[in-house]
Amino acid sequence: MERQQFQKQLMENALAEGFEDCEVYFEQTENFEVLVLEGEISQYETSDTIGICFRGIYQGNMGYAYATTMEQETIAYLIAQAKENAEVMQETESEVIFAGSSCYPQINSYKEELKALSPAQKVEAAKKMEQGALQQYEQVSIDYCTLQTTDKTIALCNSKGLNLCHRKNGIFANISTIAQQNGDVKTASEDWLSNNWATFQPQEIGRKAGEKAVSHLGAYSVKSGEYRVLLENHVAAELLSVFAVVFYGENVQKGFSLLGGKLKEKIASSKVTLKDDGLLENAPASMPFDHEGVAVKNKTLIENGRLESFLYNLKSAAKDGTSSTGNGFKDGYKSTVKTKCTNLYIQAGGKTPRTLMAQLGEGLLITDISGLHAGANAVSGDFSLSAEGFLLERGQIVRPVEQITIGGNFYTLLKSIEEVGNDLKFIMPRANGTMGSPMLMVKRISVAGI
């Protein structure tokens, strides 16, 4: 059955069978993925899946049901399952079906030129990434090299007249390299994320991954102490991905964030402006509405160091007597709505990485961190993470560094940012959204070494 006809009939039948209000959430995802190794395809996969979440208020309770087909018999199944679910639910907080925002932004997240690419063109691009790494450095071999494209449609309608649909596509490329020399082995990776195929330079991505691995050969630790540091853009974005939850209204309400009661206060360096922009062009999480049907917008959470806003879905916004910020999202069609970032990023400054290195003078350039899940506490803000990078003297790289642990506190780090680079980069979407950052210069971080 065609999607719009299915949604319409499902809602009509549900209302006829006693539902007060109801909603149909639909998602369809087309995925392509290829892995290449030594110039040959090692894995190739395509998939096309759909998921449907039906929810409705029945006898005062919200009931849910799910399906993966749009057949006539699916309608009766969803209604029956949602009824049964509603009858056993004991809700402590009432849920609502949202009538819709007054207007929705126009945003183009779908690129026809990306859709028109043939599988052969995608495979060739993946091979070029591999070539870029291997042709430049004889010490380098390939761990893996992958290219993925995604085409996704989200459609949301309800019995209050809401009828929304958005289609977007994108590409993700990633290569991991291994460099070996005199028994020393180092790995490094490089990735690229966008929906603008014209800006994709696969050989350059491969070259960078090879260069990273080779540049870390011969690394060793440094003395323990307090260091001035530069955090590479993707490292800063990874840190942000862990602590983004402290800006969620629901976590502030539960006491899981130390930002409670600090609106309009200065919580960061005046160099820091933090935005959650769901309308950013060519960004992975951009779309005109969230999964509750609320219009998405560009929000400033920190402006020149001052805390301006939190992120809300409908439920958490109601608790604070405010409006949703358009940050109510599902992880999938079977998931419940939760607060989630769109494109959360630290706004770029005006200085190049090279300029920041010169300004830093003496210190460390941190290029990789690990242990984010075990080594970071999103409530207290504390972190202790394995890291590697380079030692800088007089603004120049002296040697590679490994076997160090960097420690600190996210709230303190925000206040310690001295400069912000111009090289904003987004990393692969995480569970709590898509994160981006430019290079950051931090006044002081504790380093445990030798």
136: pLDDT confidence band, cut at 50, 70 and 90? confident
Q: What is the pTM of this model?
A: 0.94
The predicted structure's pLDDT at residue 88: 87
Q: What is the pLDDT of residue 91?
A: 63
Q: Report phi then psi at 262, rounded to 5.
A: -110, 10
pLDDT at residue 322, rounded to an integer: 96
Q: What is the pLDDT of residues 43-92, one digit of tens each?
A: 999 999 999 999 999 999 999 999 999 999 999 999 999 999 998 876 65
Q: Give dist(CA 194, CA 111) in Å, integer.
A: 10
Q: What confidence tens digit (pLDDT) does each residue in 192-201 have? A: 999 999 999 9
Which residues, including other chains, have CB under 8 Å from residue 241's CB and lie 6 or more apart? Answer: 372, 427, 430, 432, 433, 435
Contact criterion met (CB below 8 Å) for 269 and 303: no
The pLDDT confidence band at residue 218, using thresholds 50, 70 and 90, is very high
Return the domain boundaries, the chain.
3-215, 225-448
Q: Which residue has the tokens 């995480």?
A: 430
Indicate the pLDDT class of residue 281, thresholds 50, 70 and 90.
Answer: confident
pLDDT at 94 over 60: yes
What is residue 69's predicted lDDT score, i.e. its pLDDT?
96
Residues 29 and 10 sit within 8 Å (Cβ to Cβ): no
Q: What is the pLDDT of residues 418-440, one digit of tens each?
A: 999 999 999 999 889 999 999 99
Domain made up of 3-215: CATH architecture: 2-Layer Sandwich (3.30)
* Whether the Cβ atoms of residue 318 and residue 292 lie closer than 8 Å to each other: no
Backbone phi, then psi, for 167, in 5-degree steps?
-120, 135
Q: If we measure between CA atoms, which residue out of 364, 346, 344, 342 comes closest to residue 422?
A: 346
| Confidence band of 174 (pLDDT split at 50, 70, 90) | very high
